[in-house]
């Protein structure tokens, strides 16, 4: 026998299922397909719009989508308009839509992931209602100048790469990136502002940037890879722990780098081919490096007073005068002679490239391709998996 309250709940649930609730997967191939779902307000299922001749995808009544919205290879599609969409509990994927300019989501506040890849004309993407939560943000190959309205405190992973007009990236509220953060190859004046960020769960890659501000960053659970940037200085003076290697190279304007709080590096610490580098702020908190220390540049002093443990070699080379005896004397450890190389007034060639023998090395070796980034890819792939399953 059904109690009164249970009956009441049952009636409520039944009445909530109306003609505006649609639950199935939709594969849209033409305007007719859009007309079929344009009355839907709440949808459970995936919507796939691939290889159509549509110029506009307009879903006026959609407010909640529990599923993925997958939009790929639409050669004429100029805009995606979702004026009432509040929540998208799935992936919003935009792949290879050659003329797509606008993604209009004025009401959206929750989105599990946004992956926009190879939409070379895409320039209008914004979230005026403000996203508070997002697991994966990938913007690759677009014309977006600025990303507005993304204000979560935590994000799974972020990749913003190959957007030739992107010139400011700011995540003012972001405190944690649970997986990887990768910013590379955007506009040559691109600046990155992460005023609240304290932790990154996996790798960090920063490339082709003019300004980087991450003054509160404390720990990185993967590697830190900073290369081919145009800034003159980088200060990560709260950074204490890096799980894998720290690599800093090809930064043609870099004069000063400062990692004053750095205590532990789980891999190697490698610095080379920063041809203007003239000063390395003291690494006096550095206690442990579980790989090589290989620092090359045009500096006159280098201090590592607390260094207690290093699993690899210590290689220090400068084109300037350098007091190697003094540096060695001030180390807290006494490195074995086959693990200690310190040379002053070396040839320029020796500071712009690593020796062949320094290139090898396993987990803790000197060179690893984009440390820690693999997890970001894995996460991206997980996002894609659901889409791929749906496709085939
Ligand atoms: C959208 O919803 C309103 C009422 O909620 C309805 O009157 C209208 O016909 C719907 N639009 C479409 C295109 O179905
Ligand atoms: C797109 O347009 C072309 C040329 O008008 C036509 O051949 C093709 O069948 C159309 N594709 C779809 C999915 O309607
Ligand atoms: C450093 O610059 C050289 C020459 O331009 C390039 O081949 C190399 O890939 C760069 N390193 C990285 C990690 O970008
Ligand atoms: C050093 O970095 C610059 C970019 O800053 C690059 O153009 C150059 O090719 C690099 N040199 C080597 C030997 O990788």
What tens digit of pLDDT does each residue of 107-143 get? 999 999 999 999 999 999 989 999 988 999 999 999 9
Give domain status of residue 209, yes or no: yes
Nearest CA residue ID for atom 1, ligand 4: 250
Domain with 72 in it: 16-222
Q: What is the dihedral of CA 254, 255, 261, 264, to 10 degrees?
A: 60
Task: Mark whether 287 and 182 lie in a shared domain.
Answer: no
What are the E-state strand segments in 171-305?
A: 176-177, 181-184, 191-193, 199-200, 204-207, 211-213, 219-220, 224-227, 233-235, 241-242, 246-249, 256-258, 264-265, 269-272, 279-280, 288-289, 293-297
- The Cα 326–Cα 320 span in angstroms is 15
Scanning the chain, the segments in alpha helix (DSSP H) are 4-16, 31-37, 324-329, 349-352, 356-359, 374-391
Nearest C-alpha to atom 7 of ligand 1 is from which residue?
39
**Residue ending a domain, choose from 200, 222, 244:** 222
152 and 77 in one domain? yes
Label residue 218 by pLDDT band (50, 70, 90). very high
Is 75 found in the same domain as 38? yes
In a domain, 388, yes or no: no
Task: Note whether 25 and 84 are same-domain residues.
Answer: yes
Cα dist from 212 to 190, 209, 236, 254, 326, whole Å: 9, 7, 9, 12, 33
CA torsion angle 40 76 86 114 (round to 10): 130
Q: Does residue 382 fall inside a structural domain?
A: no
Q: Are residues 155 and 262 in the same domain?
A: no
Instruction: State whether the beta carbon of 30 lies less than 6 angstroms from ligand 4.
Output: no
Residue 58, domain member (yes or no): yes
Q: Whose CA is nearest to atom 13 of ligand 3?
A: 227
Lowest mean pLDDT segment, chosen from 196-205, 296-305, 332-341, 366-375: 366-375
pLDDT of residue 18: 61
297 C-alpha to center of ligand 1: Å?
Answer: 66
Instruction: Tell me the per-residue pLDDT of 237-291, one tens digit each, with 9 for 90 and over.
Output: 999 999 999 999 999 999 988 999 999 999 999 999 999 988 887 788 999 999 9
Q: What is the mean pLDDT of the chain?
A: 87
Say yes or no: 86 and 217 in one domain: yes
pLDDT score recorded for residue 359:
56
Chain centre to alpha carbon of residue 204 = 7
* pLDDT over 90 (residue 10): no
285 shares its domain with 169: no
148 vs 84, which has greater pLDDT? 84
pLDDT band at 305; cut points 50, 70, 90: confident
My answer on whether 142 and 260 are in the same domain is: no
Ligand 3 pocket: which residues have CB below 6 Å?
227-228, 250
For ligand 3, atom 1: residue with the closest CA: 250
Q: What six digits make up the tokens of 70?
A: 């997958």
Quick one: 170 and 238 in the same domain? Answer: no
- What is the percent of the chain with per-residue pLDDT over 70, rounded to a whole number? 86
237 with 217, same domain: the answer is no
Worst-scoring range by mean pLDDT, 12-26, 40-54, 332-346? 12-26
Tens digit of each residue's pLDDT (9 = 90 or more) over 35-48? 989 889 999 999 99
Has residue 4 been placed in a domain?
no
380 located within any domain: no
Collapsing DSSP to helix, strand or coil, 177 comes out as strand
Q: Is residue 379 part of a domain?
A: no
Pocket test for ligand 2, best of 48, 53, 72, 76 (most atoms within 8 A of CB): 53
Instruction: Determine the 3-state secondary structure of 314 from DSSP.
Output: strand
Q: How many A from CA of 326 to the centre of ligand 4?
A: 31
**127 lies in the same domain as 147:** yes
**Is residue 376 included in any domain, yes or no?**
no
Contact 272, 280 (CB under 8 A): no
Percent pLDDT > 90 in the chain is: 72
Q: Are residues 218 and 284 located together in one domain of the fold?
A: no
* Domains held by the chain: number: 2
- To test the ligand 1 pocket, which listed residue (18, 34, 39) has its Cβ within 8 A of the most ligand atoms? 39
pLDDT value of residue 157? 96
């Amino acid at each position: 026998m059904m109690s009164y309250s249970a009956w009441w709940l049952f009636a409520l649930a039944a009445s909530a299922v109306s003609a505006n609730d649609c639950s199935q997967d939709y594969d849209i191939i033409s305007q007719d397909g859009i007309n079929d779902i344009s009355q839907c307000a709440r949808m459970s299922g995936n919507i796939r719009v691939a290889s159509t001749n549509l110029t506009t995808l307009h879903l006026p009544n959609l407010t909640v989508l529990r599923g993925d919205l997958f939009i790929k290879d639409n050669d004429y599609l100029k805009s995606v308009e979702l004026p009432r969409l509040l929540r998208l509990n799935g992936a919003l994927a935009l792949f290879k839509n050659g003329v797509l300019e606008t993604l209009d989501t004025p009401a959206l506040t929750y989105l599990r992931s946004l992956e926009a890849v190879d939409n070379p004309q895409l320039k209008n993407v914004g979230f005026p209602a403000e996203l508070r939560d997002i697991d994966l943000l990938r913007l690759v190959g677009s014309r977006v100048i600025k990303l507005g309205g993304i204000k979560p405190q935590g994000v799974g992973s972020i990749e913003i790469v190959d957007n030739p007009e992107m010139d400011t990236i700011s995540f003012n509220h972001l405190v944690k990136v649970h997986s990887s953060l990768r910013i590379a190859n955007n506009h040559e004046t691109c600046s990155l502002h992460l005023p609240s960020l304290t932790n990154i769960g996996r790798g960090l890659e920063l490339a082709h940037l003019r300004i980087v501000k991450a003054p509160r960053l404390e720990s990185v659970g993967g590697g830190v890879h900073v290369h081919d940037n145009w800034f003159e200085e980088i200060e990560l003076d709260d950074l204490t722990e890096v799980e894998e290697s720290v690599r800093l190279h090809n930064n043609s304007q870099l004069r000063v780098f400062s990692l004053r709080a750095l205590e532990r590096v789980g891999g190697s610490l490698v610095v080379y081919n920063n041809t203007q580098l003239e000063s390395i702020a003291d690494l006096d908190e550095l206690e442990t490096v579980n790989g090589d220390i290989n620092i090359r540049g045009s500096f006159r002093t280098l201090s590592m007073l607390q260094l207690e443990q290093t699993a690899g070699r210590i290689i220090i080379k400068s084109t300037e005068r350098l007091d190697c005896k003094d540096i060695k004397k001030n180390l807290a450890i006494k490195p074995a002679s086959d693990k200690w190389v310190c040379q002053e007034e070396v040839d320029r060639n020796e500071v712009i490239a690593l020796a062949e023998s320094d290139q090898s090395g396993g987990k803790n070796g000197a060179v690893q391709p984009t440390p820690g980034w693999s997890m970001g890819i894995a996460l991206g792939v997980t996002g894609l998996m659901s889409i791929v399953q749906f496709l085939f």
